[in-house]
């Protein structure tokens, strides 16, 4: 007996979790490229630098305008206070008070506008440094050093960056598989267990499904023409697997259960159907018709026809003839043909 989980297999494609096109947000000559094409970079790493002299000068000019505006506010407040005192003693007309109130309010507005210009100037200075928005893999650079970037018109692409850890895998499932997954999720919710749907994938040249993750998104509706639903899984990707690859995806459609399994090599077929060779208590080989379920790795689930105590022939099948007595050798797992003349049998 072995713990098995019914699963479904699909074909999908890997995709980056995030993909950003990097552009110049200010106009200037490209001064430096600070990464190697295709390299992995960290969040905040400097990627491109744009000539910033004019933007630094504009910032200094904006700071000076703020200082001038503050001086104007101070002067207006001083004069307003003086004329209010004179007007209270009937030594100055009220029109002077109104005039300096206007001057104060106007100076305050000019000061706030100058402060906003400082903020904008600081932003422009910061835009001369193009940094990585997250950890990811860079594309090649699209603009060489010395070219003018950030001009009016269509933005120029400097490079692109992909976040590949974690990694998305997109695939489609049909209505039948969708209902199986939904039914299992509903059972998990009623049982109070986690309703996370585990998934695994393997590259085309990999054996099995070594990369483990979970499903995290499904389309809002089934496509009426194809009867399929677009589904996405998310997987840790410390190995840096590239986006855009074809992969094999496995999704569990049932909870783990104990089942009787045999090596796939022990299963045979004839006109009567599926069968295995078993060794009885008298060490005589016999044909046993069975019914099988899903394949789990290199094992086949047996749904009927065998008992756990039966001894199944798993090696030396060409010498195991029904009705003939043999001297069996016990094997714990499928193995190559043993050196002895007798077939190997394994209890299942």
Kindly indicate the confidence band of residue 342, based on its pLDDT and cuts at 50, 70 and 90: very low
**CA-closest candidate to residue 213, choices 187, 231, 190, 193:** 231
Dihedral (CA of 249, 254, 255, 256) sign: negative
Topology of domain 257-347 in CATH is: 2.40.420
**Nearest 5°: CA angle at 127, between 126 and 133?**
95
The bridge status of strand 228-235 relative to strand 157-174 is antiparallel
The CATH class of the 20-162 domain is mainly beta
Convert the pLDDT of each residue in 65-111 to its tens digit.
999 999 999 998 898 888 888 888 887 788 888 888 898 889 999 99
pLDDT in tens, 14-37: 999 999 999 999 999 999 999 999
Handedness of CA 99, 100, 101, 102 (dihedral sign): positive
State how far the alpha carbon of 226 is from the alpha carbons of 13, 63, 180, 230, 248, in Å.
19, 63, 18, 11, 21
Name which of 4, 1, 16, 11 is nearest 234 in CA terms. Answer: 16
pLDDT digits (tens, 9 = 90+) for 230-272: 999 999 999 989 999 999 998 876 555 667 787 888 888 888 8
Query: How confident is the model at residue 54, as a pLDDT?
Result: 93
Give the up-direction half-sphere exposure of residue 27: CA atoms within 13 A in the CB hemisphere.
4
The average confidence (pLDDT) of the chain is: 84
Ranges in the chain annotated CATH 2.40.420.20: 257-347
Residue among 255, 216, 208 nearest 236 (CA): 216
Tokens of 339: 């050196």
Return the CATH architecture of domain 2-15+163-252.
Answer: Beta Barrel (2.40)
Residues of the chain with CATH 2.40.30.170: 2-15+163-252
Element (H, E) at 276: strand 273-279
Are the beta carbons of 214 and 144 closer than 8 angstroms? no
Give this prediction's pTM.
0.66
Residues of the chain with CATH 2.40.50.100: 20-162
The SS3 of residue 306 is coil
């Amino acid at each position: 007996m072995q713990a098995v989980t019914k699963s479904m297999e699909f074909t999908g494609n890997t995709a980056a979790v995030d993909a950003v096109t990097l552009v110049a947000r200010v106009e200037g000559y490209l001064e430096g490229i600070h990464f190697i094409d295709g390299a992995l970079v960290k969040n905040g790493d400097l990627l491109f630098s744009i000539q910033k002299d004019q933007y630094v000068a504009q910032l200094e000019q904006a700071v000076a305008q703020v200082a001038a505006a503050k001086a104007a506010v101070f002067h207006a407040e001083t004069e307003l206070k003086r004329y209010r005192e004179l007007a209270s003693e009937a030594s100055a007309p009220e029109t002077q008070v109104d005039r300096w109130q206007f001057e104060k309010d106007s100076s305050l507005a000019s000061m706030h506008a100058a402060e906003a210009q400082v903020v904008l100037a600081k932003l422009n200075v910061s835009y001369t440094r193009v940094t990585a928005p997250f950890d990811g893999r860079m594309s090649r650079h699209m603009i060489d050093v010395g070219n003018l970037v950030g001009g009016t018109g269509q933005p120029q692409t400097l490079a692109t960056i992909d976040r590949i850890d974690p990694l998305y895998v997109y695939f489609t499932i049909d209505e039948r598989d969708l209902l199986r997954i939904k039914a299992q999720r509903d059972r998990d919710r009623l049982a109070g267990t986690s309703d996370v749907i585990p998934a695994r994938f393997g590259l085309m040249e990999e054996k099995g499904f070594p990369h483990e993750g979970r499903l995290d998104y499904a389309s809002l509706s089934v496509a009426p023409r194809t009867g399929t639903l677009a589904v996405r899984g998310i997987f840790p990707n410390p190995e840096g697997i590239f986006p855009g690859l074809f992969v094999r995806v496995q999704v569990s459609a049932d909870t783990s259960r104990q089942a009787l399994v045999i090596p796939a090599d022990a299963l045979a077929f004839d006109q009567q159907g599926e069968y295995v060779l078993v060794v009885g208590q008298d060490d005589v080989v016999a044909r046993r018709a069975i019914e099988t379920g899903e394949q789990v790795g290199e094992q086949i689930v047996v749904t009927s026809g065998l008992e756990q105590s039966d001894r199944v022939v798993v090696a030396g099948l060409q010498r195991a003839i029904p009705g003939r007595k043999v001297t069996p050798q016990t094997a714990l797992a499928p193995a190559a043909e043993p050196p002895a003349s007798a077939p190997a049998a394994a209890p299942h």
